Amino acid sequence: MHIRRALPADNPAILDFCRQHAMQGALPLRFDRTPDYFALHRCHADDHRTWLAEDLQGVVKGIASLVVRDGYLQDCVQPVAYLGDLRIVPDRRLSRVWMEEVRARLADLQHEAGVEHAYCCMIRDNRLATQSLLGSRRGGQLALTHWRGYSNVSVYGRRGWSKADGSRAADSIRVVRAQSHHADALRAFLDAESKAQPFGPVFSEQEFERRLSTWPDFGIASFLLALDSHGNLLGCVAPWNAGRIKRIVLEKLPPSLQAIRVAFNALAPALGRPKIAPPGEALLDVYLTHLQVTQRDPTVFAALLDAAWTNLRGQYALMQLCLYDDDPLWPALKRYRTTSVPMDLYTLSSAGAAPAVDKTSEARIPGFEIYLV
């Protein structure tokens, strides 16, 4: 087995590997990253590295990526890494060698870029991944620490028209589409909220402009802003169709979800809704990105969610978002029909480093962007 740094010329081989090896669990799925596997990493950050494991014939047997960016930890800015696309074919020897290689690459990041902390996510019921990465019977596992559970939520319908419960009357919240004159206040709001979240992205002027100018089909007008009666910013969300660089493909549906798909698709034409794609085809979905709500107020979130739903229901079958276990925002979803995939976040710290998420910050909402996974 040969392990090496991936090159742009490896793009077809990586895409083929991802197509053949879906993430397992009750809802097997894969990400279609054609035409450019590396495009999503460039949305995440400029510093990204991918490694390949190949057999003697040059056939890809495993991949792993590390993306490095500035993040907030313990109220300080420091370089952090996201460990993604960690996938190998079932092979005990390869698994051991692969984990050793990942640890070596993380050690390199500490010396080269000062990275002491990384994080990753896993589907909760993906037994193959959890046994490979978290199993205790074999040596060589990554020293992963469980951080927080969350759900990848798919919104596909609305239950009614009643307003959500909350501490503030929804009528006092006005939702508008962002314009250029909102940019400075919006960036400052995003950065202030992110600063309170472990691993939260640093929204410097340069980083915010980079996202607005380089993400495909994205810009300041993508943002919906929740304002109070005095024009103060209470929350924001930016629906983003990542379809040009990333699509979700469900390989198989359990009977319960298949029944929902069939029933939904039967009503979709009359409701003016797109149909939910069958297994094997890319979902027609949109991500609710940059979701930040002051004090995690569910009433503000409900106003943003309603505005996004009104704008998007005729274009997309699903709205995708991330909500955490015990997240105060959950009540706003009671009026919507949803399905969820339980997931987990883990952290990984270099030898001798203090815990990435300590006792004072473990209850905080993570600074995690599911749409960049």
Closest CA to 343 of 61, 23, 7: 23
131-143 mean pLDDT: 63
- pLDDT tens digits, one per residue of 77-112: 999 999 999 888 877 788 778 888 888 888 889 999
DSSP letters for 248-316: EEES---HHHHHHHHHHHHHHHHHT-PPPPPTTSB--EEEEEEEEEGGG-HHHHHHHHHHHHHHHTTT-
The predicted structure's pLDDT at residue 166: 41
The answer to whether residues 247 and 283 touch, using CB atoms and an 8 Å cutoff, is yes
Residue 160 has pLDDT above 80, yes or no: no
- pLDDT tens digits, one per residue of 236-292: 999 999 999 999 999 999 999 999 999 999 999 999 999 999 999 999 999 999 999
3-20 mean pLDDT: 95
Higher pLDDT, 360 or 113: 113
The predicted structure's pLDDT at residue 136: 52
- pLDDT tens digits, one per residue of 40-88: 999 999 999 999 999 989 999 999 999 999 999 988 999 999 999 988 8
In angstroms, the CA 175 to CA 65 distance is 38
Residue whose token pair is 């313990």: 74
The predicted structure's pLDDT at residue 25: 77
The answer to whether residues 34 and 15 touch, using CB atoms and an 8 Å cutoff, is yes
164 falls in which pLDDT band (50, 70, 90)?
Answer: very low
In angstroms, the CA 317 to CA 362 distance is 35
In angstroms, the CA 342 to CA 215 distance is 27
The predicted structure's pLDDT at residue 141: 64
* HSE-up of residue 136 (Cα within 13 Å, Cβ side): 1
The predicted structure's pLDDT at residue 165: 43
Residue 342's DSSP bridge partners are 151
Of all residues in the chain, what percent carry a pLDDT higher than 90?
76
Residue 168 has pLDDT above 50, yes or no: no
In angstroms, the CA 347 to CA 144 distance is 6
Long-range contacts at 60-63 (CB < 8 A, ≥ 24 apart): 60/10, 60/13, 60/14, 60/16, 60/17, 61/1, 61/88, 61/89, 61/91, 61/94, 62/87, 62/88, 62/89, 62/94, 62/98, 63/6, 63/14, 63/17, 63/18, 63/87, 63/88
Can you list the domains of the chain with their CATH numbers?
2-148 (3.40.630.30), 154-348 (3.40.630.30)
The predicted structure's pLDDT at residue 89: 85
| DSSP assignment letter at 48 | E
> Amino acid identity, residue 129?
A
| Radius of gyration of the chain from its Cα atoms, rounded to whole angstroms | 21
Residue 167 has pLDDT above 80, yes or no: no
147 falls in which pLDDT band (50, 70, 90)?
Answer: very high
In angstroms, the CA 198 to CA 357 distance is 7
The predicted structure's pLDDT at residue 195: 96
> Amino acid identity, residue 369?
E
Tokens standing for residue 340 = 């969820």
pTM here?
0.92
In angstroms, the CA 297 to CA 232 distance is 15
Higher pLDDT, 169 or 8: 8
Q: Cβ-count burial of 351 within 10 angstroms (0-12 exposed, 13-18 middle, 19+ buried)?
A: exposed
The predicted structure's pLDDT at residue 138: 54
Between 14-18, 98-102, 140-144, 200-204, the lowest mean confidence (pLDDT) is in 140-144
